Amino acid sequence: MKERLTESFEKRQVRANPDRWKHFGHKALSAVTIGSSIITPINILSIENINENIEAVENGRIDVSVILEAIDQSNNDKAVVFINGFNTNDADKMSRDLGPGYQQYIQDAQVLSLSYGNAPLSTQGIAEEIVQMTIDMNINEVSLMGYSGGGNIAHDVNRLIRRMSDVEIPYTLNISTANGLDGLRDATKEQIEFYSEVISHFPMLVYYDPARIIGELMIRQSHFTNDDGGYDPEKFFKVLGDINDDINDPDYAKTSLAYDQLQAIENIDIQEAINESAEQGQYGLQTVYGYIGTGKGGYDYVVNDKKSGKEICGYAEEAGVHCVIQNTPNAVHTMPQLTIEEYNQTFKQMGEVLQSLAAQERRVFEQRNHPITQSDLPIAIQ
């Protein structure tokens, strides 16, 4: 695992540097300051607010729930688990939006949603929950579909499931997943690093809603700034209202979970995870990987998807396993619900290739475990 973001300023590459503020602009920072002055007095040093959030985390529980049964009921022994990314508490909506296309074009299986439950993020805990689910529901195959930061988590969960179970994992697919912090767009990376660095020095802020709002303003500053670095007051107050709505939405991750999700993007080594999975796959069914990026008419302003997709599939190739890249036109990173039909077409385009590669791995697996003997050959050949 890579080092965490909780190093001192002196050891970090992101220094207290006047140039870093150029990315935000003095006027944009003034807007954040205005937001701070509006929000902070409402709940300044509110022990009650902090305690409420700590209690929510302590009572949180990771869970996997069924969103859709398989189209053909005989395929209910197979499942795909959708894992959402940064700032999300579950993948329920995404599973409903993208699950039918996955079932139709990639694999007919039950569609399941992972809920983080606002519990401390643990890939070990997620893997254990999925393995227990396969036992309880008599599932023999479980694939993983990770969106954005959920893709990083899916890679770690893949290898952890293999360590503790012989359940087969035919597919692990990513949509717009960053290959670590370096797989993010520069502006996004610097904003997240700054936010994470502040939290690392003031850890109780992860339980304090006003601090969360200020952090969100920093991350979303591009939504209300102009090209000259100034800010639009009307857009600013709209963003402020949206943030307030979001943090009160039960589907939205609480600050502590969001911070854990940021840590996962940096700390999970995707190459290491793929290598270990491939080594373990020599004794079972190898996983086929897929990366879905952004195609013509769209632009991923959060993740450098072309760089990340190339690198992740490169890791798979080096490990001797298959990986397929396909792009979705018009995709918007933070709003996949706008391009459901385009994602369905992407699933259709890559589905046949994925199925062919999975069938190939199945044949290799069966031949390895049931080698052909002379008694299996026709009498004429013997």
CATH of the domain at 344: 3.40.50.1820
Pair (255, 291) in one structural domain: no
CB atoms within 10 A of CB 95: 25
Pair (215, 333) in one structural domain: no
In a domain, 278, yes or no: no
In a domain, 378, yes or no: no
In a domain, 371, yes or no: no
Check residue 29 and give its pLDDT.
Answer: 47
Considering only CA atoms, which of 3, 5, 2 is closest in space to residue 259?
5
**Rounded Cα distance, 245 and 236, in Å:** 14
Pair (160, 303) in one structural domain: yes
Pair (67, 172) in one structural domain: yes
In a domain, 369, yes or no: no
Pair (192, 167) in one structural domain: no
**Rounded Cα distance, 363 and 357, in Å:** 10
Please name every residue paired with 68 in a beta bridge, in sequence order, or none if there are none.
111
In a domain, 140, yes or no: yes
Check residue 379 and give its pLDDT.
Answer: 55
Check residue 42 and give its pLDDT.
Answer: 45
Pair (160, 132) in one structural domain: yes
> Tokens representing 332?
């918007």
Q: Are 131 and 164 in contact (CB under 8 A)?
A: yes
In a domain, 317, yes or no: yes
Pair (243, 302) in one structural domain: no
Pair (216, 297) in one structural domain: no
Domain that includes residue 153, residue range: 63-180+286-363
Pair (238, 329) in one structural domain: no
Pair (68, 165) in one structural domain: yes
For residues 232-269, one letter each, b for 16 or more C-beta atoms within 10 angstroms of the residue's C-beta and e for the rest, the string is eeeebeebbeebeebbeeeebbbbbbbbbbbbbbbbbb
Phi, psi (degrees; rounded to nearest 5) at 83: -125, 115
Whole-model pTM: value is 0.84
Domains: count for the chain: 2
- Within its chain, how far is the Cα of 286 from the centroid? 22
Q: What is the pLDDT along the chain (382 residues), one digit of tens a residue?
A: 433 322 322 232 333 343 443 444 444 445 444 455 444 444 445 788 888 889 989 999 999 999 999 999 999 999 999 999 998 999 999 999 999 999 999 999 999 999 999 999 999 999 999 999 999 999 999 999 999 999 999 999 999 999 999 999 999 999 999 999 999 999 888 878 887 888 888 888 888 888 788 778 877 777 888 777 788 889 989 989 998 888 888 888 888 898 899 999 999 999 999 999 999 998 899 999 999 999 999 999 899 999 999 999 999 999 999 999 999 999 999 889 999 999 999 999 999 999 999 999 999 999 887 655 555 545 554 4
In a domain, 213, yes or no: yes
Instruction: Reduce the secondary structure of the chain to three states and give it as a string.
Output: CCCCCCCCHHHCCCCCCHHHHHHCCHHHHHHHHHHHHHHHHHHCCCHHHHHHHHHHHHCCCCEEEEEECCCCHHHCCEEEEEECCCCECECHHHHHHHHHHHHHHCCCCEEEEEECCCCCCCHHHHHHHHHHHHHHCCCCEEEEEEECHHHHHHHHHHHHHHHHCCCECCEEEEECCCCCHHHECHHHHHHHHHHHHHHHHCHHHHHCHHHHHHHHHHHCHHHCECCCCCECHHHHHHHHHHHHHHHCCCCECCHHHHHHHHHHHHHCCHHHHHHHHHHHHCCCCCCEEEEEEECCCCCCCCECHHHHHHHHHHHHHHCCCCEEEEEECCCCCCCHHHHHHHHHHHHHHHHHHHHHHHHHHHHHHHHHHCCCCHHHCCCCCC
Check residue 47 and give its pLDDT.
Answer: 83
Check residue 375 and give its pLDDT.
Answer: 57
Pair (86, 121) in one structural domain: yes
> What is the crossing angle of helices 255-267 and 186-201, to 10°?
120
In a domain, 346, yes or no: yes
Pair (157, 296) in one structural domain: yes
